[in-house]
Chains A and B, each alone.
Chain A
Amino acid sequence: MSFSTKTVRQPEPAAATGTLISRRVSSSNHTWNLVLVGIVLALGVLLPFLLPAAELGVAMRILIFALMGVGWNMMSGFGGMFSFGHAAFFGIGAYTTAFLLVEVGLTPWIGMIVGMIVSAAAAVGISYLALRYQLRGAYYALSTFAFAEMLRLFVIGNESLNKTVGFTVPVMFGDNWSMFQFRAGSPIYFWIGTAMLVIVMLFCIWFLRSRAGRFAIATRDDELAAAAVGIPTLRYKLTLVAISAAITALAGALYLQFYMFIDPDLAFGATVSNNAIITAVVGGVGTLWGPVLGAVIVAPLSDLVTELLRHPPEWLSFLEGLDGLDILVYAVVLIAFVLLLPKGIVGTFLGRRKK
């Protein structure tokens, strides 16, 4: 039995311009991944000592964006099911935690687990419907968008969820570990956030290397072929969806506890969904660390812009006090990356490395 051993060099199939999802061999970058987790952990522990307290707010936002982006990426990047309404899961996480805390007095530590479960269940429910009815392309995108909007409207009209008023976390004095509340500006929030991110990253690293994770990636690469090799594709798609929603819900709970307040727009607004997307697109859709890098870049942007608006340099003085510039910056960043660097920073870097 002799098969030809001629190596016929064929060019790598050219990806269409704008293909966002990273196409790289799932690799033995395991060591690198763990190293990076270690770096994140180290940074997280040290940062509060290196940064002035005022900057901790930005740092927290980076963490929250990172969690949102990583969560979004699990379903959209690794699963290929692009979500345009991820705010739904963020909001469910935040609202469940808030409701249980304010109405029932349940500690947010448990509340947030409940939030993650509810969010995952909702995600599986709506995705099951969408997948079963074979929504594709634009229809699927719209259904994700509509779901988030529907939740927002539902909450606005719902008395027991405080309608447009939202929930305010009752203030406690000093540090209260059991109720996940600390002095304002306390670095403990940041350390907990870092711990959350580290745990999430470790989970994702483990999951994507596991049998289930491989099946899920195979399903994303080619669903029909996956079915043809015996993979029950629906099951694995829904698994990814559930994981994605749970991680995003965690971000929502973290947001709630740090900012001590949530309302329908902050929870379910299109801005939240867009932030998750922009974070992942800038960093690299379908890469493990892309959303984290994306968060580092995107999250501080609005703060930078606000600073700029307050004290603009001479030649930009006409910008002073202009509302809306931060949104414009986000918009330009999004468009620029989609058109010019569709694989994001990490994705492009990994793609070059493979050559």
Chain B
Amino acid sequence: MSPQAQAPAHPQANTPSPPPAARRANGRPSTRTLLVAAALLVIASVVAGIVSGSTTVLVQALVTGLLTGGVYSLIAMGLTLVYGVLHVINFANGSLVAVAMFVSYLAVNALGLHPYVALIVTVPVMALIGAGIQAGLLNPIMRAPIHTQLLVTIGVALAFESLLLMIAGPNPKSVSLPGDFGVDIFGATVSVARIYAFAGALVLVALLWIVLQKTRMGTAIRSVAASPEGARLVGINVKRIYVITFALGAAAAGAAGTLVAPFTTIEPTAGATFNLTAFVVVVLGGMGNVPGALVGGLIVGLTEQLGGLILPGQSPLLAVFVVFLLVLFAKPQGIFGRSS
């Protein structure tokens, strides 16, 4: 990893990569990988069912896994978008979600808004914050080696966490959804708020997809993702696109925060927990691939639940991390491969 500034091309220009495995240029999944993933999940479910000895438990796990997975996807959307365009892993993504949760809480308690109507407040606020971060802190160092930008996002994450702690105090807060009730799905009971969050994930994917594919700004964003130099040559203001993208990513994190607030503990350190799973989701689904984040999230949610059944007593996140490391080594492009 030569840090030399003289090489004009990507540092890998002279370091030929090994023969690439099924590399997809357009972000669609290789059938083989999907099949392998599906097969592994089925096997895991069967094993989990055997180990736990009860189909009810298994079904509960699968349902919870899918719904939680939806939440993970939601949180990871912004992260994958930012990576796809800026090639920066936004370590502050989790903290942005946490900030959004607190803003939701304020909107609900101070302004008396319905928890979902709070979206009107959180999304723009987070977008502005995101724009500020990119414009002020990241844009000046976009040409520096990647670890520089990662360090800044770590700093931002710490800053947000500490600010939340200072302003709101360590005591957890909560936001409740008026009219929340339990829903029975295949014998498993889930709060309807989670189902709404799952639906929210789907809507968000669709929205982001429409923006990226159908709008002029989206095309500009995708051009920058494919080649900043090329985009510059056709007159795109790359720095501005960076700001817009980060703002979008923060807005997505904002939406995620608001949607999960009704069933998540709102505390300053919530951000860190969100980060871990989001990283896994993004790598699994393919860095920069928004639909991939959806699938990746579901897989992570399921892995977490099934892992909890297969290895009782261990933190279910451990299974997730093991899978994470395996995927990093075996197929870092993830299931969907990197986007364009």
* A157 cross-chain contacts in B, Cβ below 8 A: 313-315, 318
Chain A neighbourhood of B101, CB < 8 A: none
Chain A 155-168 per-residue mask, 1 if CB under 8 angstroms from chain B, else 0: 01111000000000
Q: Nearest A residue to B161 by beta-carbon distance? A: A327
Using a CB-CB cutoff of 8 Å, which residues 118-147 of chain B contact chain A? Answer: 137, 140-141, 143-147
How far apart sit A140 and B137, CA to CA, in the bound complex (Å)?
23
Out of A21, A327, A339, which one reaches B152, CB within 8 Å? A339
Q: Are A335 and B137 CB-contacts (below 8 A) given A15-B5, A222-B4, A327-B161?
A: yes
**Stretch of B173-181, B189-197, B228-236, B324-332 on the interface side:** B324-332
Contact at A156–B325, with CB atoms within 8 Å? no
Q: Which residues of A331-345 have CB atoms within 8 Å of chain B's CB atoms?
A: 331-332, 334-335, 338-339, 342
On whether the beta carbons of A20 and B148 are closer than 8 Å, the reply is yes
Q: Quick check: B147 and A139 within 8 Å, CB to CB?
A: no
Interface segment out of the listed A142-150, A202-210, A241-249: A142-150
Q: Contacting A141 at CB < 8 Å: which of B17, B18, B147, B169? A: B147
Complex contact A143–B325 (CB within 8 A): yes
Indicate whether A339 sits within 8 Å of B140 (C-beta atoms), given known contacts A146-B279, A322-B166: yes
Question: Taking the complex as formed, is B9 at the interface, i.e. its CB lies under 8 A from any CB of chain A?
Answer: no
**Given A136-B1, A138-B83, A138-B146: A338 touches B283 (CB 8 Å cut-off):** no
Choice from B143, B154, B163, B268 contacting A17 with Cβ under 8 Å:
B143
| Docked-complex contact B18 and A324, CB < 8 angstroms | no
Residues of A within 8 A of B4 (CB): 13, 221-222
Residue of B nearest to A140 (CB): B1
Q: B147 — which chain A residues lie within 8 A by C-beta?
A: 20, 76, 82, 141
Within 8 A of B (CB), among A311-335: 322-328, 330-332, 334-335
Interface pair B144/A335, CB less than 8 Å apart: no
- Which B residue's beta carbon lies closest to that of A157? B314
CB distance from A253 to the nearest CB of B (A): 25
Most buried by B among A18, A134, A222, A327: A18
The reply to whether B1 and A80 form a contact with Cβ atoms under 8 Å apart is yes
| In the complex, chain B residues whose CB is within 8 Å of the CB of A14 | 5
Instruction: Given the known inter-chain contacts A150-B321, A150-B322, A334-B151, please indicate yes or no for A223 contacting B1, CB distance below 8 A.
Output: yes
* Complex Cα gap A324–B166 (Å): 6
* Set of chain B residues within 8 Å of A82, measured between Cβ atoms: 147, 150
A342 and B165 contact, CB distance less than 8 A: no
Contact assessment for A328 and B159 in the assembled complex, using a CB-CB cutoff below 8 Å: yes
Distance in Å from the Cβ of B255 to the closest Cβ of chain A? 24
Q: Which residue of A lies closest to B312 (CB)?
A: A157
Min CB distance, A330 to chain B, in Å?
6
Complex interface bits, A10-30 against B, C-beta within 8 A gives 1, otherwise 0: 000111111111000000000
Measured CB to CB, the closest approach of chain A to B250, in angstroms, equals 17
In the complex, the chain A residue whose C-beta lies closest to that of B283 is A142
Contacts between the two chains (Cβ within 8 Å), count: 178
Kindly identify which residue among A129, A141, A153, A331 contacts B146, using a CB–CB cutoff of 8 Å. Answer: A141
Q: When the two chains form their complex, are residues B148 and A81 in contact, meaning their CB atoms are under 8 A apart?
A: no
In chain A, positions 221-256 with a C-beta closer than 8 Å to chain B are 221-224
Contact at B166–A153, with CB atoms within 8 Å? Answer: no
Q: Is the CB of A223 within 8 A of B15?
A: yes
Identify whether the interface residues of A are mostly helix, strand, loop, or mixed. Answer: helix
Tell me, yes or no, whether A3 is within 8 Å of chain B by CB.
no
Asked whether B108 is an interface residue with its Cβ less than 8 Å from the other chain, the reply is: no
Interchain CB contact under 8 A, A17 and B140:
yes
Known interface pairs A136-B1, A332-B159, A339-B152. Does A150 touch B165 (Cβ–Cβ under 8 Å)? no
Chain B residues with CB below 8 A from A142, complex form: 89, 279, 283, 328
Q: Is the CB of A277 within 8 A of B151?
A: yes
Contact between A324 and B279, CB atoms less than 8 A apart:
no
A133 within 8 A of B: yes
Set of chain B residues within 8 Å of A76, measured between Cβ atoms: 147
Residue B202 CB within 8 A of the other chain? no
Bound CA–CA A180/B137 (angstroms): 46
Taking CB as reference atom, which chain B residue is nearest A156? B315
Residue of B nearest to A336 (CB): B155
Closest chain B residue to A82 by CB distance? B147
Contact in complex: A16, B151 (CB < 8 Å): no
Q: Any chain A CB within 8 A of the CB of B239?
A: no
Tell me if A288 is interfacial: C-beta within 8 Å of chain B.
no
B322: chain A residues at CB < 8 Å are: 150
A274 at interface by CB-CB < 8 Å: yes
Do A13 and B12 have beta carbons less than 8 Å apart? no
Is B63 interfacial (CB-CB < 8 Å)?
no
The reply to whether B145 and A20 contact each other, CB–CB distance below 8 Å, is: yes
Alpha-carbon distance A82/B317, docked complex (angstroms): 25
12 contacts between A and B (CB under 8 A): A16-B143, A18-B144, A18-B145, A141-B147, A146-B280, A150-B322, A153-B321, A224-B14, A270-B272, A323-B170, A328-B163, A338-B151
Interface residues of chain B, those whose CB is within 8 Å of chain A, are: 1-6, 12, 14-15, 17-18, 83, 87-89, 137, 140-141, 143-152, 154-159, 161-166, 169-170, 268, 272, 276, 279-280, 283, 287, 313-315, 317-318, 321-322, 324-325, 328-330, 332
For the A-B complex with A15-B5, A149-B321, A323-B166 known, give 8 more contacts whose Cβ atoms are closer than 8 Å: A20-B147, A20-B148, A133-B328, A139-B328, A139-B332, A322-B166, A331-B158, A335-B152
Residues on A facing B (Cβ under 8 Å): 13-21, 76, 80-82, 84, 129-130, 133-143, 145-147, 149-150, 153-154, 156-159, 220-224, 270, 274, 277, 281, 322-328, 330-332, 334-335, 338-339, 342
